[in-house]
Chains A and B, each alone.
Chain A
Amino acid sequence: MMQQAVPPSEPLLAVDDLVVEYPVGQRTVHAVSGVSLQIARGETLGLVGESGCGKSTLGRAVLQLRRPTSGRVLFDGHDLTAMQGDALRMMRRRVQLIFQDPIASLNPRRKIGDIVAEPLVIAGIKDAEKRRELVYEVLSAVGLDPALVVGRLPHEFSGGQCQRICIARALILNPEFIVCDEPVSALDVSIRAQILNLLEEMKGRFGLTLLFIAHDLAVVKAVSDRVAVMYLGRLCEVGPSEQLFARPAHPYTALLIEAIPVPDPDIRPAVSVPVGEPPSPIAPPSGCRFRTRCPRADAQCSKEVPELRAVAPGQFAACHHPLI
């Protein structure tokens, strides 16, 4: 449906007008409302936005862990939303998910060796020796000493080590595409840098394509070729990382960039960040969903939903009054 936001080459993943809604009682949470995007093979697309804007919902719907209300998800030309049962299970081997909270996403009672081997078991690889071999290989790849870790339990590891284990588990079936859902948000500055470097290294080594979700633009920029900015269920802006940072077109992107803490005492923190929080996705504002916090909002913004439009080569923004 949307011809915009086209990546440089043939997409591995194409999300088309995706809608995900959650019923809560009599009402509906409009978590993802008509998102379209594409990711080229070998590309990292960063996805940023505030808490609750629908990033995880989008990531899970892409992998069909939550069936979308409407819209299509094309993976390597196959429509995942139309797939069921075995066909879907086969496709799932090619895609993986890494979560924000590494400790919580590991079963506390299972040994690391079993946790990492689990996808192999599910995939029906019965040869225990073969499994052990693959587990050792992937644990070494993520920088852990297999002999030291396979027999231990998750609580014996730090947050950073747990995230390495999660990454190993995600890599073991040799996937092509991984959704990384805030993989470093729970980690402190130094461990964060280690894990970001590891993801980059693994991406090169395994030829991965990534959807990298985070709420910190600086982190996203460090690993992404292109960045998509999301607000209250909709995409605001998509573009090549550096270009987006140098010249954001959407007022919300500009706000996110301003909010990044800069380690320089001469730069006084911005005070223009508007007080107030995103409105409820149960009753999103009419027109542009960002209008209740936008300094440029006018009458048109409350009436018409802005569509994604090209504002520069490869850069698209959904705004009636873009900054560029």
Chain B
Amino acid sequence: MSGNTLLSVEDVTVDLPTPRGNLRAVDRVNLTVGAGQTLGIVGESGCGKTMLSRAILQLLPKKAKLSGRVMFDGQDLFQLPAERLRRLRGRSLAVVFQDPMTSLNPVLTIGTQLIETLQEHLELDDATASRRSVELLTAVGIPAPEQRLGQYPHQLSGGMRQRVAIAIALSCEPKLLIADEPTTALDVTIQAQILDLLAREQRRRHMAMIIITHDLGVVAGRTDDVAVMYAGRVVERAPTPALFKKMRMPYTEALLAALPKLDAAPHTPLPAISGRPPDPTRPLQGCSFSPRCRYAAARCKNEKPALTEAESREHQYACFYPIEVHAEAGA
């Protein structure tokens, strides 16, 4: 991690009251992202990836209880007045959601949405804003951008819509872009295009980025660091090459093993992770992964392993019996 920290997430916890009791969606998470760096957050559905990103963005459900601290660009986000926060969000802290329709307004044209964002945050005149809009649509690979300005989101394909959402997110030159499963709803080819697009814009703008996904394949070639989440906690965290070279947490290994391998013969059974993550309203006393972990021992059931700095200062994991002999790192 570079010395220049842009975002630091400190002991962030998100609790959600539910009819079944308190649900701890995010459990004492610590993370940092350096200026211009890319962090991948990986984990199964329901492990708290979206809640963590929403905590950073301060876009949590109203009933959510939040604790900890998030420092962004020298400011404590939890202490910021609502108005300052709102301005910050469109401007230096941008987000792209899994479903582009979450961020696009269905009744406004693409042009109106882009121009409004630009004018609100950058105070551009109409002509400049519409010129910038065309440039942005071109940058995200939308053919015939002038014509697109007059179209509505439903007139575009899913891949196009996501490009537009990215164009809007990039419009004010954010310092940090959070992309929450930006390609999960898309095809493999379109997925590759969108990820390449994000990577290119990230480098060009020297923007920091958080990519959230459940697919380790997506983060492998595209991030500087990876944080693996399980049941609301970060359970392994490392520079990307170090993680793939020597993963220590059994959960990380299991996630990687569950991916279909291109070099395996057809009909090779996949080493699936049996069962499901624990019910988040019924936290386990021991390691949350213990019911599914093939290395679990008695201690794992009774005690919760902390995210300790064992492998190196940068490579941390939360496990009593980390993997010693490294298994093949996939394809």
Asked if A and B are interacting partners, one says yes
Residues 63-88 of chain A, each 1 if its beta carbon lies under 8 Å from chain B, else 0: 00000000000000000000000000
Considering only CB atoms, which chain A residue lies closest to B218 in the complex? Answer: A261
Are the C-beta atoms of B220 and A193 separated by less than 8 Å?
Answer: no
Contact B221 A265 (CB under 8 A): yes
- A190 with B266: CB separation less than 8 A: no
A21 CB-CB contact with B under 8 Å: no
Cβ B260 vs Cβ A221 within 8 A: yes
Cβ contacts under 8 Å, A189 to chain B? 44, 214-216, 255, 258-259
Q: Are A263 and B270 in contact (CB under 8 A)?
A: no
Q: B330 is contacted by which of A44, A50, A259, A263 (Cβ under 8 Å)?
A: A263
Give every chain B residue within 8 A of A102 (Cβ-Cβ): none
Whether the pair B254, A190 counts as a contact (CB closer than 8 A) is yes
Give, as a whole number of angstroms, the nearest-CB distance from A266 to chain B: 8
Given contacts A264-B221, A277-B159, 4 further A-B contacts (CB under 8 A): A50-B187, A192-B258, A259-B189, A268-B221
B62 at the interface (CB under 8 A from A): no
Known: A259-B188, A260-B188, A261-B220. A269 touches B272 (CB 8 A): no
Given contacts A193-B258, A215-B188, contact A267 B220 (CB under 8 A): yes
Q: Give the CA-CA distance A293 to B111 in the complex, in Å.
A: 27
**Interface residues, chain A, with chain B CB atoms under 8 Å away:** 44, 50-52, 158-160, 188-194, 196-197, 200, 215-219, 221-225, 241-242, 245, 255-271, 273, 275-277
- Can you list 29 A-B pairs, Cβ within 8 angstroms, ordered by A? A50-B189, A51-B159, A51-B187, A159-B45, A189-B44, A189-B259, A190-B44, A190-B273, A193-B270, A196-B272, A197-B269, A197-B270, A197-B272, A217-B188, A222-B264, A224-B266, A259-B191, A261-B221, A262-B262, A263-B216, A263-B220, A263-B330, A264-B329, A265-B240, A269-B196, A269-B199, A275-B141, A276-B141, A277-B190
CB contacts (< 8 Å) of B160 on chain A: these are 277
Q: Which 8 residue pairs are nearest across A and B when measured between Cβ atoms?
A: A261-B217, A193-B272, A222-B260, A193-B270, A259-B192, A193-B258, A275-B141, A188-B214
| Contact between chains at A190 and B196 (CB < 8 Å) | no
Q: Is B256 an interface residue (CB 8 A)?
A: yes
- Residues in B with CB closer than 8 Å to A258 are 192
Given A190-B272, A192-B258: A255 and B189 interface contact (C-beta under 8 Å): yes
Distance in angstroms from A27 CB to nearest chain B CB is 15
- CB atoms of A264 and B220 under 8 A apart: yes
* A-B pairs with beta carbons under 8 A, tally: 152
B244 interface neighbour in A264, A269, A273, Cβ under 8 Å: A264
Contact with A along B236-250 (1 / 0, CB 8 A): 000011011000000
Are B331 and A264 in contact, CB atoms less than 8 angstroms apart? yes
Chain A residues whose C-beta falls within 8 Å of the C-beta of B44 in the assembled complex: 188-191
A261 with B192: CB separation less than 8 A: yes
Most buried by A among B143, B216, B270: B270
A115 to B330 Cα, complex, angstroms: 39
Contact between A275 and B193, CB atoms less than 8 A apart: yes
Q: How far is the CB of B289 from chain A (nearest CB, A)?
A: 12
B217 and A263 contact, CB distance less than 8 A: yes
Q: In the complex, are the beta carbons of B330 and A264 less than 8 A apart? A: yes
Q: Can you name the residue of chain B whose Cβ is closest to the Cβ of A215? A: B187
B201-231 interface with A by 8 A CB criterion: 214-218, 220-222
Cross-chain contact B220 with A245 (CB below 8 angstroms): no
Contacts of A261 in B (CB 8 A): 188, 191-192, 195, 215, 217-218, 220-221
Chain A residues with Cβ below 8 Å from B264 are 222
Closest CB in chain B relative to A99 CB, distance in Å: 16
- Return the CB mask of B268-287 against A: 1 if under 8 Å, else 0: 11111110100000000000
Given contacts A197-B272, A262-B331, A273-B196, contact A223 B215 (CB under 8 A): no
Looking at the assembled complex, report how far the CB atom of B299 sits from the nearest CB atom of chain A, in whole angstroms: 24
Asked whether B102 is an interface residue with its Cβ less than 8 Å from the other chain, the reply is no
How many residues of B sit at the interface, in one of the four size bands?
35 or more
Q: Is the CB of A190 within 8 A of B260?
A: no
Q: Is the CB of B196 within 8 A of A221?
A: no
A190 touches B258 (CB 8 A): yes
Q: Which residue of B lies closest to A143 (CB)?
A: B274
Q: A residues within 8 A CB of B159?
A: 51, 277
Shortest beta-carbon distance, B327 to chain A, in Å? 12
Expressed in whole angstroms, the minimum distance between the Cβ of A52 and any Cβ of chain B is 7
Min CB–CB distance B136 → chain A (angstroms): 15
Chain B positions within 8 Å of A277 at CB level: 157, 159-160, 190
Decide yes or no whether B313 CB sits under 8 A from chain A.
no
From residue A317, how far is it (CB to closest CB) to chain B in Å?
18
Pick from B157, B259, B273 the residue with the most CB of A within 10 Å. Answer: B259
Minimal beta-carbon separation of A31 from chain B (angstroms) = 15
Task: Write out, one digit per residue, whether chain B residues 132-154 have a CB within 8 A of any chain A CB (1) or not (0).
Answer: 00000000010100000000000
CB distance from A63 to the nearest CB of B (A): 24
Task: Report if A265-B272 is in contact (Cβ < 8 Å); known contacts: A217-B188, A259-B191, A277-B157.
Answer: no
Residues of B within 8 A of A270 (CB): 192
CB atoms of A188 and B331 under 8 A apart: no
Closest chain-A Cβ to B264's Cβ sits at a distance in Å of 7
Residues of A contacting B266 with CB < 8 Å?
A: 44, 221-225, 241-242
Q: Which single residue of chain B is at the shortest CB-CB distance from A274?
A: B193
* Nearest B-chain residue to A227, judged by Cβ: B266
Nearest CB on B from A196, distance (A)? 6
Known A52-B157, A196-B270, A277-B160: A218·B193 in contact at CB below 8 Å: no
Complex contacts, B190 vs chain A, CB 8 Å: 50-51, 277
Among B241, B259, B272, point to the contact of A263 (Cβ < 8 A).
B259
Is B267 part of the contact surface with A, judged by Cβ < 8 Å?
yes
Question: Which single member of A196, A267, A276 contacts B260 (CB below 8 Å)?
Answer: A196
Find out whether the CB atom of B196 lies under 8 angstroms from the CB atom of A265. Answer: no
Is B158's CB within 8 Å of the partner chain A? Answer: yes
B265 sits at the interface (CB 8 A) = yes
- Assembly CA distance A206 to B241 (angstroms): 44
**B192 adjacent to A273 (CB under 8 Å):** yes
- Beta-carbon nearest neighbor of B271 in chain A: A193
